[in-house]
Amino acid sequence: MLEVLRQWYHRHFTDPQAVILLLLLVLGALVIVTMGTILAPVFAAIVIAFVLEWLVTFVQRFKIPRTPAFYLVYCLFIGLFILTIFALIPLLWRQTHLLIEDAPRMLSAWQEQLNLLPDRYPDVFAQDQIDEIIKSIKAQTTRFGQTLLSVSLSSIPAIITFVVYVIIVPLMVFFFMKDRDDMKAWFSRLMPNERGLSVRVWGEVHDQLGNYIIGKVGEVIVVGTVSCIVFVYMDLQYAILLGAITGLSVLVPYVGAAVVAIPVVAMGLFQWGFTPQFWYVAIAYAVIQAIDGNVLAPLLFSEAVSMHPVAIIVAIVFFGGIWGIWGVFFAIPLAILVKSVLNAWP
């Protein structure tokens, strides 16, 4: 047994390039774990700059030099950023505030609709089951209200942090894009000479991660926009808010669609009860998610992020258990990194 372990160690950890890659991975993990919250604006700016660089490359295909292409894309980004801050976010905040005020009335309406189920479907639902469901909903609502109160009491630091993000992130995006080559050269000078394996892993991660990030941005925009249009057309209350969270649900494959289905179905139930209009909304949501999963996502991602669904779910569960909601959001990028290391290490 010891001989097997010794051979395994010499095969995988005697190469200096493998040791350097391992040290870089450990150092990166330590930075994220220990300083992830502090460096969150930096990570956000890096991701945004990564996406905008793809747009700059696209504009350059029309024989436009990099500097004008960069300023054009950055100005479009700033315009969209300002529109989001002063138009979209206040609209979503207003709808969220109205939804919170409407919550007690919605809870009573859901209770009335649930109490009708034993009479309509006596073979499927019993009154004791409905009472337990209502009791559970009330308990969860009370717990959510307490959480919301604690969040509102600590909202001042959050507002200050948001203002800092609004100022710092666009500024860092500008310098990350403008001085991209200088920063890459500086970082290369800090890297060890024996870094061929690390460069190979980064190349694979760069290609797949670039496809993933750009594809996800496009997927969120398309699904969110289509959902808002459909919900507004069907006259669903809080259509913009529900459309926005439907778009964001694609960030968490499989799990996000199931979780966001709850508020969409609950709102339809509150607004129309068990009527044909309610079933139309539920079917529309299911169709949107089906088209996204079977048509849009394969079209956007192609074969670049080729992972089995089981691997994706395991990554979501594993990294979500370690880092909570951020681990869920970044589960697939982290899984891409693990996959690239496993492919390159032998």
- pLDDT tens string 154-164: 555 566 666 77
pLDDT score for 195: 64
pLDDT score for 276: 85
Q: What are phi and psi of 308, to 5 degrees?
A: -65, 145
- Tell me: pLDDT of 153 over 50: no
d(CA 185, CA 183): 5
What would the mean pLDDT of 38-45 be, rounded to a whole number? 80
Q: Tell me which DSSP letter residue 274 carries.
A: S
- Tell me: pLDDT of 244 over 60: yes
Cβ atoms of 253 and 316 within 8 Å: the answer is: yes
Q: Closest by alpha carbon to 70, among 176, 224, 146?
A: 176
- Tell me: pLDDT of 266 over 60: yes
Cα dihedral 193, 197, 203, 209 sign: negative
- Tell me: pLDDT of 268 over 60: yes
Domain boundaries, the chain: 38-148+157-194, 196-346
pLDDT score for 248: 86
Least confident of 171-175, 186-190, 193-197, 287-291: 193-197
d(CA 179, CA 329): 28
